[in-house]
Amino acid sequence: MQSFLDIFDIYLLEAVINGILLGGVLALLALGLNLIFGVIDVTWICYAELVMIGMYGMYYLVQVFHLPYWAAAPLVILLVALLGAALHFFVIAPLLTAPPINQLLATGGVLFILQSFATVAFGIDFRNLGIRLPVLALGEMNFSYARLLSFAAALVGMVGVYLFLTRTFTGTAIRAIAQDRQIMPLMGVDPKRIYLVTSAIGGGLAGLAACLLVLQYDVHPFVGLSFGPITFLICVLGGLGNFIGGFIAAFVFAEIISLGGLFSDLEWGYVLAFAFFIVMMFIRPAGLLARRS
């Protein structure tokens, strides 16, 4: 009995730590979405599909063009950043004055486009980088280096964005425009440029997430659906546009999925997370950290 409990606790601890590691990448994705929502007031339903395109980019650069991983990653980040800027320029900008729901649905159309583009261009086979990182055995617990690396890189990325937002002029302008989009043009800030820069940063974060996720998961055209919805729920749970709320919510969700998956199938982890989300919406409609008005 005693030994059974020991094993059980080890598994529990392993699941908790894996949840934290998963939370890092989710927090990165949530940060990108929150940034775009907070500044431009748009929800990119197709955000996870940008990540999917980035994962394909990694696949082709590494497997077909035989670039080393560390050289391919910046290229992919740049590529997805450009994609984000293009998305803003071609789809969001013409709709800026339309009701937000139309912008949301238009990005839903982009979701279809990107998914089926990937199906047409790359086929529906599962692909992976063929890089197998070793597994770190800590006592009786196993952690893959891929997850540890993702967690670390996600943290670095988030700190980078934080420094950019607080220490540079453009970053300050981005934060200012999120607070008052009428006044900022009078202060000499060009909102169009800021929106483009923000979209590019949001895309860049998706690109970074793609570089990290491709280490752990196979790529296929519908891979976005497996973490896209979760990302939106995290953002809403944290309060759309609330960076810190999104950060906390990412770890809450990751723990629920990880622990739910420990006790039952992975799907039940997701069911639990979704149900938790709906319940929380009723308890705190404006997000975890919102003050009651």
Partner 1 sequence: MNRQVAFWIIALLALVALPFVHRDPYHLHVLVLILIWSFAYTSWSIMGRFGLVSLGHGGFMGIGAYVTALLWNHLGVSPWIGIPLSMATAGVLALVVAYPCFRFRITGHYFVLVTLALSGIVLQVITATRDYTGGSLGYTPQRAQSGKGLFALQFDDKTTWYLIALAVWVAGLVIWRAIDRSMIRHAMEAISEDEDAAAAAGVNVTAEKLKITLISALMTALSGALYCQYQMFISPDTVSGIAVSLQMVFAAIVGGVYVALGPTVGAVITIVLAEVLRISFGTKAVGWDNLVYGILLVLFIIFLPKGILGSVIDRIKSPRKPSRGHEQQTVPIARR
User: By CB under 8 A, is residue 20 in contact with partner 1?
Assistant: no
- For residue 12, CA distances in Å to 114, 137, 211, 276, 290 come to 38, 15, 28, 20, 31
User: By CB under 8 A, is residue 85 in contact with partner 1?
Assistant: no
What sign does the CA torsion over 17, 19, 21, 27 have? Answer: negative
User: By CB under 8 A, is residue 26 in contact with partner 1?
Assistant: no
User: By CB under 8 A, is residue 108 in contact with partner 1?
Assistant: yes
Q: Is residue 30 within 8 Å of 242, Cβ to Cβ?
A: no
User: By CB under 8 A, is residue 101 in contact with partner 1?
Assistant: yes
Beta carbon of residue 91, minimum distance to partner 1 (angstroms, whole number): 6
Beta carbon of residue 267, minimum distance to partner 1 (angstroms, whole number): 3
| φ and ψ at residue 183, rounded to 5 degrees | -75, -35
Which 165-194 positions form the footprint of partner 1 (CB under 8 A)?
Answer: none
Which 192-231 positions form the footprint of partner 1 (CB under 8 A)?
Answer: 221, 225, 229
Question: How many CB atoms sit inside 10 A of residue 101's CB?
Answer: 9
Please tell me the distance from the alpha carbon of residue 166 to that of residue 174, in angstroms, as a whole number. Answer: 10
Beta carbon of residue 90, minimum distance to partner 1 (angstroms, whole number): 8
Please tell me the distance from the alpha carbon of residue 92 to that of residue 97, in angstroms, as a whole number. Answer: 10
Q: Mark residues 262-281: x for contact with partner 1 by CB under 8 A, - for none.
A: --xx-xx-xx--xx-xx--x
Please tell me the distance from the alpha carbon of residue 197 to that of residue 201, in angstroms, as a whole number. Answer: 6
Which 114-143 positions form the footprint of partner 1 (CB under 8 A)?
Answer: 114-120, 124
What does the binding site for partner 1 look like in residue numbers (CB under 8 A)? 37, 43, 91, 94-95, 98-102, 104-106, 108-120, 124, 221, 225, 229, 232-233, 236, 240, 264-265, 267-268, 270-271, 274-275, 277-278, 281-282, 285
